[in-house]
């Protein structure tokens, strides 16, 4: 599998051959980093469709109609435009399934099995028997199946069948280590979070003081995010540079500040992965917090990792060949704040 600079698969045919593990894992992290931005760009590009609410099961027929217009035969995917559209629909269908049925994106099991789509992310859904117990959904074969049958309702039928079998999305727990905060005190079950929050205010004070001495005022307003973003742009030429610095005190404190502003202005709570609870290797991304809104019934919004926000802010190249969203505009973090605020359930905290 060849991967381009923007993380897109260059040659769709080659995903049928299992790539090296390191390449598959790197593609997964690139996929995660860019997923929210790609989905936003996709919906902007196809507006005013869908007429149904975005990410609803009802919207899938409209998305499938657009997909079938662009992808008629496998040969269409040899062209960059249809191939890029394929992966935008790939993300959208997966996200609808996650929001409808619960679960998460994963990659490793499909890679180990080989076969069509090996090396691409897939969805593992929840079930009444427990978190992520509902089995796997190969989104790659879902899209190729829709192109083959051309029924116009393949995506909706699949999502409805999953929901009927396993129920609506409930409180989410993620094998990535990210856990929904549908408990009164998430720190009570996460010692890493307890330690993180114990130092939180002190670290914020040190960071804001240090930046003020350098001429950057951080006052926990939305506008202050633009000022901090400019500091990040001056310091990091591209996402690889900031990712290499994730465990530095500067990035750690910047992540704390951004998380604090998001929570103050748009609600939700801060959490962090507990390394001791992981069944996979610990990554630098795990040292940074993430955010989620949680409704009164315990249902969580999609997790928003600070690693994604930071990488997206300094990324030097547009996400996807057809993207009209310019990189490094200086307002990426504030844009993420607006999307985070919009993701809140009416009864969430």
- Is the domain of 90 the same as that of 197? no
Query: Residue 290: inside a domain, yes or no?
Result: yes
Query: Residue 75: inside a domain, yes or no?
Result: yes
Grade residue 142 by pLDDT with cuts at 50, 70 and 90: very high
Query: Residue 177: inside a domain, yes or no?
Result: no
Query: What mean pLDDT, rounded, does the chain reach?
Result: 83
- Is the domain of 112 the same as that of 210? no
Q: Between 191 and 98, name the one with better pLDDT.
A: 191
Grade residue 11 by pLDDT with cuts at 50, 70 and 90: very low
Question: In which domain, by residue range, is 283 found?
Answer: 186-342
Which pLDDT score is estimated for 226? 98
Least confident of 108-117, 144-153, 222-231: 108-117
Asked if residue 341 lies in contact with residue 285, where contact means CB atoms within 8 angstroms, the answer is: no
Asked if residue 255 lies in contact with residue 262, where contact means CB atoms within 8 angstroms, the answer is: no
Asked if residue 252 lies in contact with residue 288, where contact means CB atoms within 8 angstroms, the answer is: yes
- Is the domain of 194 the same as that of 48? no
> The pTM is what?
0.65
Count: domains in the chain: 2
Specify which residues 173 forms β-bridges with: 179
How far apart CA 263 and CA 192 sit, in angstroms, is 19
How far apart CA 278 and CA 346 sit, in angstroms, is 32
- Is the domain of 235 the same as that of 285? yes
- Is the domain of 31 the same as that of 107? yes
């Amino acid at each position: 599998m060849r991967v381009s600079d923007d993380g897109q698969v260059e040659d769709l045919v080659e995903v049928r051959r299992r790539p090296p593990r390191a390449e598959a894992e790197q593609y997964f992290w690139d996929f995660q980093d860019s997923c929210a931005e790609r989905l936003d760009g996709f919906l902007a590009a196809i507006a005013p469709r869908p007429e149904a609410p975005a990410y609803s099961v009802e919207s899938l027929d409209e998305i499938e109609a657009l997909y079938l217009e662009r992808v008629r035969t496998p040969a269409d995917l040899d062209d960059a435009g249809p191939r890029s559209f394929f992966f935008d629909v790939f993300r959208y269908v997966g996200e609808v399934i996650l929001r409808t049925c619960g679960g998460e994106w994963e990659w490793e099991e499909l890679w180990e099995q080989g076969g069509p789509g090996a090396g691409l992310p897939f969805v593992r859904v929840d079930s009444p028997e427990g978190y992520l117990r509902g089995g796997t959904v190969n989104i790659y074969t879902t899209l190729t199946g829709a192109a083959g049958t051309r029924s116009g309702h393949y995506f909706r039928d699949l999502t409805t069948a999953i929901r009927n079998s396993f129920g609506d999305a409930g409180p989410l727990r993620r094998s990535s280590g990210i856990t929904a905060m549908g408990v009164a005190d998430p720190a009570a079950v996460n010692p890493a979070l307890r330690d993180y929050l114990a130092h939180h205010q002190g670290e914020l004070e040190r960071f804001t003081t240090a930046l003020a001495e350098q001429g950057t005022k951080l006052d926990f307003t939305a506008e202050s995010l633009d000022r901090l973003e400019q500091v990040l742009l001056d310091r990091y030429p591209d996402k690889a540079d900031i990712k290499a610095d994730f465990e530095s005190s500067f990035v750690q404190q910047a992540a704390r500040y951004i998380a604090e502003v998001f929570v103050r202005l748009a609600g939700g709570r801060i959490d962090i992965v507990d390394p001791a609870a992981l069944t996979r290797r610990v990554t630098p991304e795990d040292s940074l917090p993430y955010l989620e809104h949680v409704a009164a019934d315990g249902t969580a919004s999609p997790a928003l990792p600070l690693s994604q926000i930071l990488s997206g802010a300094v990324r030097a190249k547009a996400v996807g060949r057809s993207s009209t969203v310019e990189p490094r505009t200086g307002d990426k973090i504030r844009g993420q704040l607006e999307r985070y605020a919009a993701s809140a359930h009416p009864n969430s905290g």
